[in-house]
Amino acid sequence: MSESRREVLAGVRRLVVKVGSAVVADEGGLSREVIEGLAAEVSRFQRQGYEIVLVSSGAIACGRRKLEIPSRSFTLAEKQALAAAGQSSLIQAYEEAFSRYETHVAQILLTREDLEDRRRYLNARNTLRVLLRWRVVPIVNENDTVAVEEIQFGDNDLLAALVVGLVEADLLICLSEVDALYERDPREDPSARPIPLVREITPEIEAMAGRRPGRFGRGGMISKLRAAKMVNSLGVPMILASGRTPLVLERIFSGEEVGTVFLPGKRRLSARKFWIAHGTKPEGRLVLDEGAVRALREGGKSLLPAGVRAVEGEFERGACVECVDEAGHPVALGLTNYSSGELRCILGARSCEIEEKLGFRGREEVIHRDDLVLL
């Protein structure tokens, strides 16, 4: 086992395993062999003391096969209908497979809106924590039946990364139809070589990803790199490997050079800042002067009213807003202590002037540094 892999696996007790559509489903429908093998492995790991959350795609592909609808381009409503038909079969297959190993499972269906709202986010986190404490394997999927385009995750790679932050996992294992990150898309260049270790996702690494999505999924290598960047920012490593490889989890934890390992950097976000950076959707924009930008980037300071030049959009207190410099370049994301209307009253104001301008004693900071993430 290489030193890097030993460090990645040392101390791992809670992990998220993401399974792609092309792993659990094919043209013939659900792959019972893959689901059976996954259930056997996860159950063995659970008995060894690991806590595992499974993020599984496959509902739409399963529904298409179940209803015997040929592959083609589907409308959003048709995808939602296929997901409704397929999700029941997908969870039933997992239920049956895990029951043979006396392992209980629970279905968790989420939309992006569930994780953008802090209260609902915390409710989901508490539910998952209880299930893990009860030795139940949560099986998470996007709630495609009700998720309109505005509240979709886009693909389950992003959902899996957010679940890592949600449950504070130690490792993300992404099981895909591809067995690693390659120098170039191996579907287009069979001579491309796999990359066993990525220490930092640079533009050169991103250029290696093919733009084509998977056979059944919406993602592709680009979305997997995005998921890796997200969990790496949290201080969590990710391993990309083939979900069709027999005993893939056993081989990973035995130290075999399976797939690609993405190592986290030294700078690590807290769980709260990770949620702000990736789980929220900006509702407005604040334009900052040069001094404020410098204070945030170089001094690690909070944002004060004196540094805000303009307010764009309408939002309430507690909303996520994007902070930009005067040229419009992104600087940070944060949760504001003031509504857009209140902020317009105190633009450029010094802290001692806030109460006079608003008529009440407000917070000194527009965004406290604990609620602010630099971009």
Q: What is the CATH number of the domain that holds 185?
A: 3.40.1160.10
As to burial, measured by CB atoms within 10 angstroms (0-12 exposed, 13-18 middle, 19+ buried), residue 304 is buried
Helix (H) or strand (E) holding 286: strand 284-288
Domain boundary among 274, 304, 322: 274
pLDDT at 107 over 60: yes
Query: Could you tell me how many residues make up the chain?
Result: 375
Q: Can you give the pLDDT at residue 80?
A: 87
Mean pLDDT of the chain: 90
> Would you say residue 216 has pLDDT above 50?
no
CATH of the domain at 369: 2.30.130.10
Least-confidence region, from 25-29, 199-203, 229-233: 25-29
Residue 217 is predicted with a pLDDT of 47
Q: What is the mean pLDDT of residues 90-105?
A: 97
Q: Do 63 and 125 share a domain, yes or no? A: yes
Which pLDDT belongs to residue 149? 52
The pLDDT confidence band at residue 266, using thresholds 50, 70 and 90, is confident
The answer, yes or no, to whether residue 228 has pLDDT greater than 90, is: yes
Indicate the pLDDT class of residue 162, thresholds 50, 70 and 90. very high
Smallest CA-to-CA distance from 205 within 266, 265, 262 is with 262
What mean pLDDT do residues 345-371 have?
92
Over pLDDT 90: what percentage of the chain?
67
Residues spanned by the domain of 214 = 3-274
The pTM for the full model equals 0.88
Closest of 151, 179, 173 to residue 53, by C-alpha: 173
Task: Pick the closest to residue 8 from 251, 239, 247, 268 (CA basis).
Answer: 239
Is 240 in contact with 174 (CB distance < 8 Å)?
yes
**Across-strand partners of 242?**
176
Residue 70: predicted pLDDT: 85
Q: Which amino acid is at 281?
A: K
Query: Do residues 217 and 248 share a domain?
Result: yes
| Residues 179 and 321 reside in one and the same domain | no
What does the radius of gyration of the chain's CA atoms come to, in whole angstroms? 22
pLDDT for 210: 63
**38, pLDDT greater than 60:** yes
Into how many domains does the chain fold?
Answer: 2
Mean pLDDT, to the nearest integer, of 205-217?
Answer: 67
The pLDDT assigned to 117 comes to 87
318 and 252 within one domain: no
Considering only the C-alpha atoms of the chain, give the largest distance between any 2 of them, rounded to a whole number of Å: 70
- Give the three-state DSSP class for 345: helix
Same domain, 261 and 340: no
Q: Hey, CA dihedral for 336, 160, 16, 206, is it positive or negative? A: negative
Task: Output the pLDDT for position 30.
Answer: 83
| pLDDT tens readout for residues 310-346 | 999 999 999 999 999 999 999 999 999 999 999 999 9
CA-to-CA distance for 297 and 211, rounded, in angstroms?
33
Using pLDDT thresholds of 50, 70 and 90, give the confidence band for residue 151.
very low
- Are residues 359 and 264 part of one domain? no
pLDDT attached to residue 265 = 84
Return the DSSP state at 252: H
- By DSSP bridging, strand 284-288 and strand 320-324 are parallel
